[in-house]
Amino acid sequence: MRIALTGNPNSGKTTLFNAITGKIEHVGNWPGVTIAKKEGDIKKSLYRGKEIIRVVDLPGAYSISPFSSEESITRNFVLNEKPDVIINIVDTTNLSRSLFFTTQLLELGIPVVVALNKSDLLESRNIQINLDELSNRLGCPVVETSSTEGKGLAELLRAAADRSGDKQTAPFKSELFDLRDQESIEENDRERFVFVEKLVDEVENRAVASHKQTRQDAIDRIVANKVLGIPIFAAIIYVIFSLSQTYVGPLLADILVGWIDSLYEFAAGLLGSDLSPVLSSLFLDGIIGGVGAVMGFLPLIMVLFFLLALLEDSGYMARVAMVMDRYLKKVGLSGKSIIPMVIGTGCAIPGVMATRTIRDDRQRRTTAMLTPFMPCGAKLPIIALFAGVFFGDAAWVGTSMYFVAIGIIIVGALLVRKITRDSSSPAYFIMELPEYRLPSIKRALVSMFSRAKAFIVKAATIILVCNAAVHIMQTFNWSFQVVEEGMESTSILAGIAGPFALLFIPLGFGVWQLAAAAITGFIAKENVVGTLAVVYGITNFIDTEEFELISGAGDVATVMGLTSVAALAYLMFNLFTPPCFAAIGAMNAEMDSKKWLWAGIGFQFGVGYTVAYFVYQAGTLITTGSFGSGVIPGLVAILVFAAVIASLIRSKKQQSEKTIKEAV
Amino acid sequence: MELAVAGKLFKRKTAVKSFKQCKEGRFNLTDADTNLPYTIKEINTDDQAVKDFLFTLGCYEGEMVTVISALAQNFVIHVKGARYSIDEDLARAIIL
Amino acid sequence: MLGNILLFLLVISIIGVAVAKIVSDNKKGVKCPGCPYSKAGGQNCSCPDFKE
């Protein structure tokens, strides 16, 4: 039996879904979190029946006539895939709007059960609802639920299971009308609303006139204030970042790394010194060392995701969209584009997928292309590594990376607008503002642990395999002999990475080891750290005063052979190039156009190269008085990049001038 | 004499004001006072999809709308029991 | 010698399990193993009719 969960955005569908299936799908207190359907089976503890019941969580919709692509998903599923029962989740604090959709669902002929969700808020709002009357008038069972508290779930499921196979009659009969006639559709909808209004009047007892200002609005006046809005947002981002990067994160990381180090020692002791050096090295440095180096950053990532979950749960996200809207409008985007970017600070993949809520094609593609510039959780280890090794753990390193990212995004958006010359009708910005609520620590913890588990799995699979491969490739040369100490440049890895290293000379890191690390970064950004650990034989990046170095050199900076300027350039290159393949895959899914995809990737690579070039060359000029190596070739490459963009802009300009001429 | 001049200036100002109103179009959401419920007269836009969408939220002719706050170029409005944030362009299209 | 063989087996099995997990995830459509989000992404890749 298949049950579909439908309802207005942010009514609690996904929370209910998680509660009854035991899954941990992503939840957030802002409209547009769920963008695709999710399926799961009901927990046995909630329902003892013979059949297995499958539940499908759908994105929110305000009506059966879709406005956004998420609404289309709901409509298509309900109309085409014919679920056995529909559970319509209704936010009890807003009956009049929610029931519009309900009455439409009731006309489909599929049995419906209404879940009056968020019932825990009824008391505090002084609202009373006559359930029986409502159920009578609608012609379907109505169950009071609270998905956050887990109340009423078993009842709901029993009611749903009972209804399977029933017939559903509609309380509001749409008169036969011509679907093509706009006016009669409007007439019909109007009448539907009248019906709903009457129903709500009879059924609901509300004490507070909700159109007056409340405490929520007072908060909004401060948070979305003309002057204070941006600084508040910047402050929040800074707090999130510094807590995860500078204060709480590294504290916990130190402990973890201590354990990893002891594990290394223990393993080394066990193996002793008689076993094959190749194998022991592969095991100790390649596997334990490489994965360990990355795992050391897990606490930082966990803290970050915890804070992000709190932020999403509070309901602040929708306000961020509102605050940023007028600035984003200046570069051709809208406030809706900020949400993917904020999510992107956790992981670019869900960030890019969140662009689905943007209606305008160009804006959506632009946002999808620019979201990966925001440093994601996987890039955090890279930032932390370089900040720690080269800049004494200074907080400005990381913070500035985010601001550079914002700068790049602004420039990128402007360029795209210039290139596409889109002067079409303004895309209106409208977004529902959910109620503020005190973020649930429990939910944030759940989210954090789920993400932590994912990270560990990722480390134990992809990163482990990559590190092992890298280790093997650097141990052997092309004739499969073990490479001597000091002869590393003859290894397979050096052979493959070498040519790429040439490209990076103008950027200050034309060394095969660094090139190799950057390349492995495309599989997963954490690999940059992992590969560096394997290639330079370092196991502990966190506590830079007491790390273990196998090669015996005095400090990581010397080992890498980079000046601070070059290190900064390398960091920025890795941050602002195309993201990991998985994220590129997500981009591909959203772009829906090979042209845009490759343009996006090309742009990302160009930006990474250009930024690293300028940082290195300008920095070297400032600190040493002369340019670094490869000034001219690098400049040529960048000029080529700029020329391509300029020609794109000009060709569009000529095109539009031509059409104007033709029109005249 | 000065009174007459002052009178003329005063008259001119009011004339200019109503001329401006005429020019800028009708009384829309951007002109509304906060915390006062108004009745929507019309949704003035060519974008039918937006019109339909607003409808499903309960934002159509005859319904009540209140501006909760006007912040920079965004308005927080209250329609049918829910709060929304809309931009200036959309606010201008909601004729009261 | 025995020690070497054991170590070799250990390493191979660790890597083998990791590779196996990656392969089985790929079959399910997950591009980024362990990432809780990429599954949904893969799903929608194969259903282009969702885009209207």
Picking from A299, A301, A466, A445, the residue whose alpha carbon sits closest to that of residue A376 is A301
Distance (Å, rounded) from C-alpha A239 to C-alpha A139? 51
Here the tokens at position A185 are 């559709």
pLDDT for res C48:
27
Q: Between A96, A100, A213, which is nearest B68 by CB?
A: A213
* Class for the domain spanning A2-206: alpha beta
* Contact (CB<8Å) A464/C35: no
Give A 379-408 residues with CB within 8 A of chain C.
none
pLDDT for res B16:
41
pLDDT for res A458:
86
Q: Would you place residue B56 in the very low, low, confident or very high pLDDT band (cuts 50, 70, 90)?
A: confident
Here the tokens at position B17 are 């004001």
Q: Between C4, C33, C44, which is nearest A276 by CB?
A: C4
**Running DSSP on this structure, what letter comes out for residue A377?**
G
Give the CA distances from residue A501 to residues A142, A485, A498, in Å, rounded to whole numbers and listed in that order: 66, 21, 5
Nearest-by-CA chain C residue for A466: C15
Q: Find chain A residues with C-beta within 8 A of B77's C-beta.
A: none
Q: Choose the mutation target among B85, B86, B88, B94 for the interface with A, i.e. most A CBs under 10 Å.
A: B85
Contacts of A331 (CB under 8 A, 6+ apart): A410, A413, A414, A417
Distance (Å, rounded) from C-alpha A179 to C-alpha A282? 69
Give the CA distances from residue B7 to residues A198, B12, B16, B18, B19, in Å, rounded to whole numbers and listed in that order: 54, 9, 14, 17, 18
What does the pLDDT look like over B4-14, one tens digit per residue? Answer: 554 454 444 44
Give A 76-115 residues with CB within 8 A of chain B.
93-97, 100-101
Q: Find chain A residues with C-beta within 8 A of C15's C-beta.
A: 287, 464-465, 468
Q: Find chain A residues with C-beta within 8 A of B58's C-beta.
A: 96-97, 100, 193
SS3 A458: helix
pLDDT for res B68:
83
Check CB contact of A202 with chain B, cutoff 8 Å.
no
* Contact (CB<8Å) A69/C52: yes
Residue A438 φ then ψ, to 5°: -70, 120
Here the tokens at position A412 are 């990128």
pLDDT for res A77:
87
Q: C32 pairs with which residues across the strands?
A: none
Distance (Å, rounded) from C-alpha A246 to C-alpha A149? 35
Check CB contact of A24 with chain C, cutoff 8 Å.
yes
Q: Are A89 and A5 in contact (CB under 8 A)?
A: yes
Token pair 């409808």 is found at: B55
Extents of the domains making up chain A = 2-206, 230-655
Distance (Å, rounded) from C-alpha C50 to C-alpha C52? 6
Contacts of A297 (CB under 8 A, 6+ apart): A253, A380, A381, A384, A526, A529, A541, A542
Q: Find chain B residues with C-beta within 8 A of A189's C-beta.
A: 55-56
* Contact (CB<8Å) B35/A213: yes
Distance (Å, rounded) from C-alpha A596 to C-alpha B67? 40
Q: Does residue C40 register a pLDDT over 60? A: no
Here the tokens at position A642 are 């700029």
Q: Are A371 and A355 in contact (CB under 8 A)?
A: yes
Check CB contact of B42 with chain A, cutoff 8 Å.
no
Which stretches of A315-434 are DSSP H helices?
Answer: 316-330, 338-344, 348-353, 361-370, 380-391, 395-420
* Contact (CB<8Å) B71/A211: no
DSSP-derived pairing of the beta strands B74-79 and B64-71: antiparallel
Distance (Å, rounded) from C-alpha A443 to C-alpha A314? 11
Q: Which pTM does this prediction carry?
A: 0.83
Distance (Å, rounded) from C-alpha A565 to C-alpha A612? 10
Q: Do chains B and C touch (3 or more CB pairs under 8 A)?
A: no
Check CB contact of B48 with chain A, cutoff 8 Å.
yes
HSE, CB side, 13 Å, CA atoms: give it for residue C41. 28
Picking from A433, A134, A95, the residue whose alpha carbon sits closest to that of residue B81 is A95
Here the tokens at position B78 are 């209250």
Picking from B79, A137, A62, A193, the residue whose alpha carbon sits closest to that of residue A185 is A193
Distance (Å, rounded) from C-alpha A319 to C-alpha A307? 17
Q: A57 pairs with which residues across the strands?
A: A5, A38
Q: Would you place residue C39 in the very low, low, confident or very high pLDDT band (cuts 50, 70, 90)?
A: very low
Q: What is the CATH number of domain B26-95?
A: 2.30.30.90
Token pair 């169950």 is found at: A143
Check CB contact of B52 with chain A, cutoff 8 Å.
yes
Question: What radius of gyration do chain A's Cα atoms show?
Answer: 28
Strand order in the sheet with A85-91: A38-41, A54-57, A2-7, A85-91, A112-117, A142-144
Nearest-by-CA chain C residue for A586: C41
Give A 505-524 residues with CB within 8 A of chain C.
524
Considering only residues B45 and A574, tell me which one the structure prediction assigns the higher pLDDT.
Answer: A574
Low-confidence ranges of chain A (pLDDT < 50): 544-554
Distance (Å, rounded) from C-alpha B56 to C-alpha A428? 16
Q: Does residue C51 register a pLDDT over 50? A: no
Q: Find chain C residues with C-beta within 8 A of A274's C-beta.
A: 3
Amino acid symbol at A604: Q
Question: What radius of gyration do chain C's Cα atoms show?
Answer: 18
Extents of the domains making up chain B = 26-95
Mean pLDDT of C40-50: 31
Phi-psi sector, A126: left (phi>0), alpha (psi -120 to 50), beta: left
* Contact (CB<8Å) C34/A287: no
* Contact (CB<8Å) A430/B86: yes
Q: How many residues in total does chain B contain?
A: 96
Q: Counting Cβ atoms within 10 Å, is residue B88 exposed (0-12), middle (13-18) or buried (19+)?
A: buried
* Contact (CB<8Å) C33/A36: no
What does the pLDDT look like over A287-297, one tens digit per residue? Answer: 888 888 888 88
SS3 A345: coil
Check CB contact of B85 with chain A, cutoff 8 Å.
yes
Distance (Å, rounded) from C-alpha A264 to C-alpha A285? 9
Interaxial angle between packed helices A581-591 and A594-624, expressed in degrees from 0 to 180 and rounded to the nearest 10? 130
Q: Find chain B residues with C-beta within 8 A of A101's C-beta.
A: 56
Which stretches of A392-461 are DSSP H helices?
Answer: 395-420, 441-458
Contacts of A502 (CB under 8 A, 6+ apart): A510
pLDDT for res A371:
94
Q: What is the nearest CA distance from C24 to chain A, expressed in angstroms?
A: 11
Amino acid symbol at A39: E
Give A 543-582 residues with CB within 8 A of chain C.
580-582
Check CB contact of A298 with chain C, cutoff 8 Å.
no
Q: How many residues in total does chain A contain?
A: 664
Q: Between A63, A211, A226, which is nearest B72 by CB?
A: A226
Give the CA distances from residue A241 to residues A207, A238, A292, A376, A404, in Å, rounded to whole numbers and listed in that order: 42, 5, 23, 11, 15
Q: Between B50, B58, B78, which is nearest A428 by CB?
A: B50
Check CB contact of C3 with chain A, cutoff 8 Å.
yes
Strand order in the sheet with B37-39: A430-432, B82-87, B74-79, B64-71, B37-39
**Running DSSP on this structure, what letter comes out for residue A477?**
B
Q: Are A148 and A120 in contact (CB under 8 A)?
A: yes
Check CB contact of A478 with chain B, cutoff 8 Å.
no
Distance (Å, rounded) from C-alpha A607 to C-alpha A634? 13
Q: What is the nearest CA distance from A341 to chain B, expressed in angstroms?
A: 19
Contacts of B76 (CB under 8 A, 6+ apart): A217, A220, A224, A322, A433, B67, B68, B69, B70, B83, B84, B85
SS3 A136: helix
Q: Find chain A residues with C-beta within 8 A of B66's C-beta.
A: 211
Q: Find chain C residues with C-beta within 8 A of A588's C-beta.
A: 45
User: CA torsion A492→A495→A496→A499, rounded to 10°?
Assistant: 170
For B39-78, give the DSSP string: E--EE--S-HHHHHHHHHTT-STT-EEEEEEEETTEEEEE
